[in-house]
Amino acid sequence: MRSVIAICIFASLGLVGCSSIFDKHVEYKYIEPDNYPVLKAVGYAPISAQPGENQSQRSLMAIKASKLEAYRELAEQVYGQKITAGTTVQGSIAQNDQLHSQVQGIIKGAQVIKSYAVGDTYATELQLDMKRVHDLYIGEIKPREVKKVTYY
């Protein structure tokens, strides 16, 4: 019985020792989606409500504000929007109603399509081609999956 146990132990140690002799080479292939959507967003800002000493300064501030609003809208489309709400009720009457909205994210690769004034409002149109975003992502992260494993 002891000899059978000893043979089993030596055989298992021999197999474990052999497995460390083998080495492997892994080949990866890069994953690319079938299609890429193009997201669009428009931001608006009133010109006369902007701070500034003259019309030119207010127009420049409205241009900046409308561009930021368009970027915010793109971020909402890409990352979603966090909503926090609360209502206080006392004696079956709503006393305090609160709603808070927040969006957070990074937008890379967006392009300004148009910036223009419409009356007292300035508008900026942005476009985010997800193919361009994918190319930027691939350049930084290089995602991959296993294509082939060769043991030798």
What is residue 72's three-state secondary structure? helix
Q: Of 81, 71, 66, which is closest to residue 122 (Cα–Cα)? A: 66
Q: How large is the average pLDDT for residues 45-53?
A: 96
* Structure token pair of residue 77: 């489309």
CA 107 to chain centroid, in Å, comes to 7
Q: Token match 């409002």: residue?
A: 121
Q: What is the pLDDT of residues 59-111, one digit of tens each?
A: 999 999 999 999 999 999 999 999 999 999 988 888 889 999 999 999 999 99
Question: Whole-prediction pTM value?
Answer: 0.67
